[in-house]
Amino acid sequence: MKTTLNCGGKLLDLSTPRVMGIINTTPDSFYEPSRSQNIDQALRQAEQMLIDGADVLDIGGMSTRPGATLIDPQTEQKRILPLIKSLAEQFSQAIISVDTVYATTAQAAVDAGAGIINDVSAGKFDAQLLPTIAQLRVPYVLMHLQGSPDTMQQNPHYPHGVVPTVVQFLADKLAFLRQMGIHDVVIDPGFGFGKTTEHNYQLLKSLSVLQILGMPIMAGVSRKGMIWRTLGIDAKQALNGTTVVHTIALLNGATLLRVHDVKEAVEAIKLVELYKNSN
């Protein structure tokens, strides 16, 4: 299992699970408290996440919630680049990830100080993205998505089963990435991206199967509908449920948690690690 990633000269050690904190510069991300409408607010949010134990800060300029439509890369870059530059200046040791599907945004973000590209599309929305990642030589988060954000939750179905389909997709794409010279990869099964609640929990239960691919596994379940819809609450009330699902994911092999609530995720990791390593 690959346990270290070179993030633009900064080493991310995933021999024990780590936390990626979510900061959105969007007006429409599904969880309102994750949205930062100005740089000062985002910098305060980032500082608190780092104090709470975040290892990576994931910056997003475009919502990929169910029903969202893709914005153009120019608008995305206008939202995120000033923040990335400020984060790189004020928190020079922090590892910055950028959530994008566009090659030009990936290039500009890395130039501004980002060290990871987190792509929900697996390269299918911009043919130049993967060649750009290969040139940039930064780690790449490879995620499974059925459809596109605007339509992905309209009757998602998997005739051959969601777990075999996701595993095969990730395996095939990993082989393609290796051919391109992209070797630092984190795999993400894409909870909530073209999956029903039942699909999501099937993936969660079988998450350990992804370990056969030999890459770190990211779980992005924080405050998602698979939690709050199941419990009959809303995203703002879903922290407790998120912690439960994080715990299951960690027990099943997740090595990176992408979260809105860093402190609670760090606590979950500490307890699960103690449990796993106890005699």
Q: Is 224 a catalytic residue?
A: yes
Helix (DSSP H) and strand (DSSP E) numbers for the chain:
9, 10
- With the C-alpha atoms ordered 84, 85, 88, 90, is the resulting torsion angle positive or negative? negative
Closest among 115, 137, 102 to 58, alpha carbons compared? 115
- Token pair of 128 as six digits: 């130049």
The residue written with tokens 């566009």 in the block is 102
The one catalytic residue in 2, 205, 224, 229 is 224
95 three-class SS: strand
Asked if 45 contacts 59 with a C-beta cutoff of 8 angstroms, the reply is no
Closest among 210, 190, 188 to 199, alpha carbons compared? 190
Decide: residue 255, CB within 10 A, 0-12 exposed, 13-18 middle, 19+ buried: buried
Q: Compute the distance between CA of residue 204 and CA of residue 189 in angstroms, rounded to an integer.
A: 9
Q: Compute the distance between CA of residue 14 and CA of residue 138 in angstroms, rounded to an integer.
A: 16
Q: Is 258 a catalytic residue?
A: yes
The one catalytic residue in 195, 236, 258, 276 is 258
Q: Compute the distance between CA of residue 246 and CA of residue 265 in angstroms, rounded to an integer.
A: 7
Alpha helices in the chain (DSSP H): 39-52, 73-90, 103-112, 129-136, 162-180, 197-205, 225-231, 239-251, 262-277
- Token pair of 157 as six digits: 């179905």
* Residue positions annotated with a catalytic role: 224, 258
